[in-house]
């Protein structure tokens, strides 16, 4: 029941959604997880600073995160888990090892999810000792890495880092749909690549045009194309849980995407649109509410 391909299927979207929904029902129980991660504190080890000016982010999202010092100063009962990220260096890595002692303190208080960027084997081992899970952003091809991150690295190097981390801890690969200015293309190749790797779950986020970034005038990927990718992922990974993460456009786009994602067969949606509850009930799904980051 596994589909091998690198291009979107050409059959009508409604037929594809019907097929992916049947696969979901065949391999998973009839429930959907809605994650409302108010018990996970989002932390940046670099504060609001980042050495890169990635086209889709430009460091804007770091400003909404707690600093490492704020996280350490917070009472232990205020949050039950931590999502730790930060700005990347020009080496494509988040400086986590440099803050290892502080991260160990956070990890002693509750589960910790790390965004690492590129890591070698030694760094992966150090981080793997304290991470409950790593959320690892994969890129589909070298051109996307250059265009979006402005880095001279390759997709193979990112895959090697993913493998390094898998040796020492749980890893949930993250795929940003439309990462390169809202265009969908290399994501299909990335899905095919993952079929040859160990994968316990896949988390999808969606490019969101953000004011003040290099890509602010780009459009979000077309809804139907996004749904087609999610449905194709379900067919390619019939037994792997699929998540729709918190980073995606808001408003009407979010509402329609969440409804399509349910029909495509995702297993978890973070901060779902209100209408998703009605859609889940109509599909015969029991709703389970969780309060942690989707990868934890």
Residue 76's pLDDT band, with cuts at 50, 70 and 90, is low
Per-residue model confidence (pLDDT) at position 257: 98
Q: In this structure, what DSSP letter does residue 183 have?
A: B
Report the length, in residues, of the chain.
296
| Residues sharing a CB contact under 8 Å with residue 215, sequence separation 6 or more, in sequence order | 55, 56, 181, 182, 207, 209
Contact 81, 293 (CB under 8 A): yes
Q: What angle do CA 79, 112, 137 make, to 5 degrees?
A: 125
Residue 77's pLDDT band, with cuts at 50, 70 and 90, is low
Give the residue-averaged pLDDT of 238-243.
98
Per-residue model confidence (pLDDT) at position 10: 80
Per-residue model confidence (pLDDT) at position 143: 94
pLDDT value at 136 more than 50: yes
Percent of the chain topping pLDDT 70: 96
Average pLDDT score, the chain? 94
So where are the chain's domains? 13-290
pLDDT value at 8 more than 70: no
Per-residue model confidence (pLDDT) at position 185: 87
Residue 4's pLDDT band, with cuts at 50, 70 and 90, is very low
The residue to which tokens 């980051």 are assigned: 293
Contact 175, 138 (CB under 8 A): yes
Per-residue model confidence (pLDDT) at position 91: 96
> Measured between alpha carbons, how far is 52 from 151 in angstroms, rounded to an integer?
9
Contact 97, 260 (CB under 8 A): no
pTM: 0.95
> Measured between alpha carbons, how far is 127 from 137 in angstroms, rounded to an integer?
16
Whether CATH 3.20.20.70 fits 13-290? yes
Burial of residue 112 (number of CB atoms within 10 Å: 0-12, 13-18, 19+) = buried
Higher pLDDT, residue 2 or 222 = 222
Beta strands of 127-225 (E only): which ranges? Answer: 133-137, 171-177, 202-206
């Amino acid at each position: 029941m596994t589909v091998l391909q690198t291009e979107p299927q050409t059959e009508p979207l409604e037929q594809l959604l019907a097929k992916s929904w049947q696969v979901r029902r065949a391999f998973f129980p009839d429930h959907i997880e809605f994650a409302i991660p108010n018990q996970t504190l989002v932390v940046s080890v670099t504060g609001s600073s980042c050495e890169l000016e990635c086209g889709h982010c430009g460091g804007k999202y770091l400003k909404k995160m707690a600093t490492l010092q704020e996280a350490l100063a917070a009472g232990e009962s205020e949050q039950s888990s931590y999502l730790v990220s930060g700005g990347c260096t020009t080496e494509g890595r988040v400086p986590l090892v440099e803050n290892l002692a502080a991260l160990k303190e956070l990890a002693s208080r509750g589960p910790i999810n790390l965004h690492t960027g590129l890591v070698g084997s030694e760094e992966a081992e150090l981080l793997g000792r304290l991470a409950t899970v790593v959320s690892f952003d994969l890129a589909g091809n070298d051109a996307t890495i250059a265009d979006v991150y402005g880095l001279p690295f390759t997709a193979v190097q990112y895959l090697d880092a993913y493998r390094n981390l898998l040796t020492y801890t749980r890893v949930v690969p993250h795929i940003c749909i439309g990462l390169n200015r809202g265009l969908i293309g290399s994501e299909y190749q990335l899905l095919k690549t993952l079929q040859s790797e160990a994968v316990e779950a896949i988390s999808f986020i969606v490019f969101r045009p953000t004011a003040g970034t290099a890509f602010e005038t780009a459009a979000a990927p077309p809804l139907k194309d996004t749904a087609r990718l999610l449905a194709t992922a379900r067919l390619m990974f019939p037994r792997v849980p699929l998540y729709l993460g918190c980073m995606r456009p808001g408003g009407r786009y979010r509402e329609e995407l969440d409804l399509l994602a349910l029909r495509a067969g995702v297993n978890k949606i973070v901060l779902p649109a209100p209408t998703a509850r009605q859609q889940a009930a109509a599909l015969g799904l029991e709703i389970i509410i969780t309060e942690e980051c989707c990868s934890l």
